[in-house]
Amino acid sequence: ASRNAQPARARAFIDLAVERLVGNTQFFLEPHELVPARQKAKGRRARKSSAP
């Protein structure tokens, strides 16, 4: 494939991916699903800041 064709293919791939993702909740987390991850991150930050 030529270099000139690559950007067009890349754009086409991104357009396809966006079309499939928009409005599809299968690939997104709900706020209640994010809470445990946020709590873990807070715990890691607290441990790092208290380290000598």
Task: Using a pLDDT cut of 90, give the percent of the chain over it.
Answer: 15
List the chain domain ranges. 5-50
The pLDDT of residue 48 is above 70? no
Predicted local confidence at residue 17, as pLDDT:
93
Taking the C-alpha atoms of residue 5 and residue 11, their distance in angstroms, rounded to an integer, is 10
User: Within the chain, where are the H helices?
Assistant: 5-21, 31-50
Global pTM reads 0.43
Residue 18 token pair: 């966006």
Q: 46: Cβ–Cβ under 8 A, 6 or more apart, which residues?
A: none
Rg, the chain, Cα only: 20
* Residue 25: strand, helix, or coil: helix
Mean pLDDT of the chain: 80
Residues 5-27 have pLDDT tens digits of 678 889 899 899 999 999 888 88
Return the pLDDT at 13: 92
